Structure 1
Amino acid sequence: MELPRPLPSLLSSAQARGLLLLSIPAVLFLLATLSHRLYSDGTWDGVPYKRPLAGFNNKGCTESSPNSSAPSQATSRFHFMIAASKPNKHFCRALVSSTVNRYGPPVIAGWHGEGALDAAETHLAKVRAVSYYLDNLPPAADDDLILLLDGYDVQLQLGPDVLIDRYYQAAALEDERIIQQLGPTLADKVAGPLGRHIFFGADKICWPVDFTRPACWAVPEVPNMDSLAFGPKTDGDEAPYFRPRWLNSGTIMGPVREARAFFRSTLDMINATWDAEFPFHESDQYYMAELWGLQETERINAQLHADPDATHPRGPDDAKWPTVSVGGKHNHHVAVDYSSTLFQTWAGYEEFVDWRPFAEPGFGRTIHQNVRGDANFRPWVLRLAGDAMAAIDRIFRSTDDPSMGVTSDELLARSEFGSNVVTRTIMPVYHCTGAKDALDAFYPRMWFYHHAQALLRSAIRHFRAGHAFAPRPVNGRTWYPAHPYPRDAAPDDGGAWADGSDGSGGLSWVDFGSMCKEHEADVFSMEMLG
């Protein structure tokens, strides 16, 4: 079934609005059909799960694994989505980097999309495709997590076990920031329930640049970064030295319930304000940031209602200040990953992010860069994060590849890892905003690059055996990928699920070879290809 094609003058006239209203019953029928075709109650790998599973168009996916004993603890699913319409070498690198780090097979949002889901026709296809997916998840999936990545400029360095654990750590810090800003009573009223944030990557510029927009001026100052964080030029006239205060929509992670509501609100804003004459009318980031600006304006208004002298961000004299009422109506749970705990953007970080070995004692590397311009600077040691080492050790122990070394210690000591010397983090996800040549520079330096084919096979075996991301619970739950690898797929088929944007109306398996065979020389090292 094909989705309606976008209207030529989407909601820019009364006639277009009328056509949209007439189409609502058809859209509702379509969504109900998609829900029936894509998702069903069932079990996968012995894990009791009344949430959507992929592959009900493929009988091989519904079989139970030999591991049929259900775990006693609570379980949740991790919905991993990559936004892409067609393959290229950067998409294939993103796919391989996710597979070897054991994210499980992703759902490709907008794959060969048609009509309103055609990314070649509208960049807003990403918003629509993801919204359709989320709308078809049942309420039982509300506490699951979703990770959405742009498909052509992202590479994954660490696995979902690290990312999920860090998400809840970041959520606790965001709770603290909000309570400090608003106080506990207002925080609960206008930002609650806390702990359920949708994290976006952090940008060093507000894009599109217009500081009359609340999305640029009303948003929080960067916590825990002082005026020398990037040296004496911090927040001066040069973007590389700005603090990362603004939202980037290329990396998104949060609970399904809040993400579903946020994507619906994004579509509502698009429908209400889309204007073909506006230069950024096709930018998903523009609309998402606008919602964030409304959220933060509402919180400022709540502060001022309680205390007219409250300290808050201020814009220019002609800043737009929406008259939003206080009450949580615009609470979209949007948050920004300022410290690169989850996501690392590239633009403006060229001086501060690099891939280097951590081969010194204690898995460290000495930092000689005097970022702050301190007259009394002394070199210091940045150490490889323990969660990163533990995750790679788990992968190492279940991968048969002698070239990786005798122990994971050996592999770790000779590998390179991407790190941020300002935030002192080893990032799970690298998002190459800005110049794309860095994608080619850094990918061959990823820890898995010379072992990717063996790691790919071991990842598929891992999930076919019914294993979770990690043996211990995170946030009281054991986490599994939302969708399995097909039982009849090849042992080295690290493919993905197409989301039905091509008009088929159902998830369908796309094997790795059909997507990435022609890009293998850009994805795997030459010694692996022979």
Structure 2
Amino acid sequence: MPNHSLPRWKRQNQPQRPTIFTATNAALVAILISVYFGFVAWLEVSQDSNVDKGMWLNHRLEQLFHGRNRQLHVLVPATQSTKYLCQNLATAIVNRYPPPTFLKWGEDFPDKDGFMFKVSKTLEYLDRLPAAAEQRGDLVLLVDGYDLWFMLPPEVLLQNYFAALDETNRELSRRGILGIRVEGKSVRNSVMFSADHPCWPSYADGTPACSLVPLPPELDEASKMREAKLGLEWKERRYLNSGTIIGPIAEIKAMMKAAMVMYREAYDEDNELHFNDQLVLSDLWGEQERRRVDLVNAVNGPAKKLNPSIGLSADIRAELADPDFPPRKVAEQHGSPEFGITLDYVTNLAQIVSPGGIDLAWVRANHASLSLPVALQNSRPFQRLAKKQDHLSKVGWGDVSLGLNVINNQFFTLWHAAGEKQLRDTWWPRLWFHPYGLEVIQAATPNEPIGTIRGAQWTAATPFGGLSKGAGAGAWSDKGEWLSWDKVCRSFENLLFNVSAETAV
């Protein structure tokens, strides 16, 4: 409409609204945020004279450049449904984890890749993701399917992951190597495995994965006192266990590619364990740590020089010196021996069961004067059932039995029955949700938001698109098929919750 045809009051020049968020102001806000996080990072290490504060500050500021909206991908190697896979899926659902993707679902096992399918199928999944998933800093959680339970919600897992990474990177800074570039990659921990106390496969004893890897941190004094009072022994968790892995997409992908190269090109086909993901990933970690020892020696000079051959047999030392030694060869093909691998030394993420589980207990935090993880203090475990079961609406996390390591007083986020598989049956009824398990599962909706952690909004990954409204709980196959709870686990409900398939709602 021409201006002259408008009413006079509309033809008058209207005052323009001031633009508040200009490019200049945006830059100023970014600077202020950086200064704030830099100050926080400085406070974290200001009392530790052994930490290189410049390296540490750079490490913490880099976290600002991740996306503000990030996703968690949950991968579970699983070829078929069993009672124990349904335990895994049930615990994921009730604790509001993203729907897991079952790797190799419905396929034959073993095949040409044997037990390496955890690695090969993870790579296939990651290669299908859009570039945006890697760019925004999504995380991948890869866990065993038939002997592992999700014990606490994903917000606890993510908070514990970042806190544990911070501590292991502080240690790299104390050693003087955090952020140093090695053949194009910075030394920095980003991929976390669960930690175990035996080094296995057993024939690997004396290899770098068993002898050159870092010693775990010592127990704090309070934990030592509990250990003595209870007459228990803290098992030193020094060695890699591939049952739990969490890390950024790019780093997980690089590590898995190197593992597949090692498997396909370097291992003896006659070796019955050549196809074992535990062995291959341990060897990669051992090579990383051997190179880190060399780097520490180069940085600190002869006065603090470490001997990388301590504990190694003459045969192993000769093998390490061989340029065709598989991990060394693969590291060179990969372009760098640095994979960002570290371990969950204090069971912040996954609790691997000690023999008999004697150092574990089921306790109510409110009854034992224990502190809950921060993420649980303002939420309720039965919030999905509050409308149907009024008596559950006020039940808090401190009122239900949670798994606790009685030596270090850590509530464990994941539980792995690696060597004590009989406990999957005897401990299952102890889980906090068990009396209402089927009701909680039926009330669940997939893709619930996770929460705000480290300044980012975390949500469930949707690798195969969204689900229709009203879709119940379940999982994905790695081919993009939605697997409802009923399809995967209905026939096992009686074994899990004492409900027959005929009477289940």
Matching residue within 421, 431, 447 for 2:416: 431
- Distance (whole Å) between structure 2 residues aligned to residue 431 and residue 519 of structure 1: 21
Counterpart code for 2:114: T
Task: Say whether the 8 Å CA contact 2:91–2:150 is kept in structure 1.
Answer: yes
- Distance (whole Å) between structure 2 residues aligned to residue 454 and residue 241 of structure 1: 38
- Distance (whole Å) between structure 1 residues aligned to residue 358 and residue 142 of structure 2: 27
> Cα offset for 1:499?
0.5
- Counterpart position of 1:337: 344
Structure 2 unaligned runs (5+)?
A: 1-66, 322-327
The ranges of structure 1 where at least 4 consecutive aligned residues each deviate by more than 4 angstroms after the TM superposition are 117-121, 183-186, 188-196, 226-234, 323-328, 488-491, 525-530
- Distance (whole Å) between structure 1 residues aligned to residue 125 and residue 247 of structure 2: 15
- Distance (whole Å) between structure 2 residues aligned to residue 263 and residue 202 of structure 1: 19
Counterpart code for 1:164: L
Query: Counterparts of 1:294-443 in structure 2 under 5 Å?
Result: 294-306=287-299, 307-308=301-302, 309-311=304-306, 314-318=310-314, 320-321=316-317, 322-323=320-321, 329-348=336-355, 350-360=357-367, 365=368, 382-392=370-380, 396=383, 399-402=386-389, 405-409=392-396, 412-413=398-399, 415-443=400-428
Structure richer in helix, relative to its length: 2
Alignment root-mean-square deviation, CA: 3.3
Counterpart code for 2:311: G
- Distance (whole Å) between structure 2 residues aligned to residue 207 and residue 167 of structure 1: 24
- Counterpart position of 1:35: none
> Cα offset for 1:92?
0.4
Count of equivalent residues? 416
Task: Say whether the 8 Å CA contact 2:193–2:242 is kept in structure 1.
Answer: yes
- Counterpart position of 1:176: 170
Alpha-carbon spacing, 1:417–1:227, altered in 2? closer, same or farther (3 Å): closer
Query: Counterparts of 1:133-282 in structure 2 under 5 Å?
Result: 133-142=125-134, 143-184=137-178, 186=180, 189=182, 193=186, 197-209=190-202, 210-225=204-219, 241-282=234-275
Task: Say whether the 8 Å CA contact 2:380–2:394 is kept in structure 1.
Answer: no
Bigger relative contact order (CA 8 A; separation at least 6): 1
Task: Say whether the 8 Å CA contact 1:82–1:107 is kept in structure 2.
Answer: yes
> Cα offset for 1:489?
7.7
Task: Say whether the 8 Å CA contact 1:244–1:338 is kept in structure 2.
Answer: yes
- Counterpart position of 1:479: 458
- Distance (whole Å) between structure 2 residues aligned to residue 348 and residue 241 of structure 1: 12
Q: TM-score, normalised by structure 2?
A: 0.74
- Distance (whole Å) between structure 2 residues aligned to residue 119 and residue 423 of structure 1: 41
SS, match of residue 316 in structure 1: coil
Higher mean displacement: 216-225 or 195-204: 195-204
Matched, 1:127 2:119: yes
Task: Say whether the 8 Å CA contact 1:355–1:445 is kept in structure 2.
Answer: yes
> Cα offset for 1:195?
5.9
- Distance (whole Å) between structure 2 residues aligned to residue 108 and residue 523 of structure 1: 20
Higher mean displacement: 300-309 or 318-327: 318-327
Q: Deviations over 1:318-371 (max 9, x none)?
A: 3735356999811111110011111110134722112233342xxxx2xxxxxx
Tell me the percent identity: 25
Task: Say whether the 8 Å CA contact 1:201–1:337 is kept in structure 2.
Answer: yes
- Distance (whole Å) between structure 1 residues aligned to residue 82 and residue 481 of structure 2: 19
- Counterpart position of 1:74: 68
SS, match of residue 140 in structure 2: strand
SS, match of residue 320 in structure 1: helix
Q: Deviations over 1:457-494 (max 9, x none)?
A: 44307x4xxx5212xx2122101111278644865x32
- Distance (whole Å) between structure 2 residues aligned to residue 90 and residue 403 of structure 1: 31
- Distance (whole Å) between structure 1 residues aligned to residue 460 and residue 355 of structure 2: 33
> Cα offset for 1:271?
1.1
Counterpart code for 2:351: Q
Task: Say whether the 8 Å CA contact 1:99–1:105 is kept in structure 2.
Answer: yes
Alpha-carbon spacing, 1:230–1:124, altered in 2? closer, same or farther (3 Å): farther
Alpha-carbon spacing, 1:181–1:192, altered in 2? closer, same or farther (3 Å): farther
Task: Say whether the 8 Å CA contact 1:78–1:144 is kept in structure 2.
Answer: yes
Counterpart code for 1:320: I
- Distance (whole Å) between structure 1 residues aligned to residue 192 and residue 497 of structure 2: 31
- Counterpart position of 2:481: 508
- Distance (whole Å) between structure 2 residues aligned to residue 280 and residue 391 of structure 1: 45
SS, match of residue 124 in structure 2: helix
- Counterpart position of 1:519: 492
Matching residue within 77, 91, 102 for 2:96: 102
- Distance (whole Å) between structure 2 residues aligned to residue 196 and residue 391 of structure 1: 31
Alpha-carbon spacing, 1:232–1:390, altered in 2? closer, same or farther (3 Å): closer
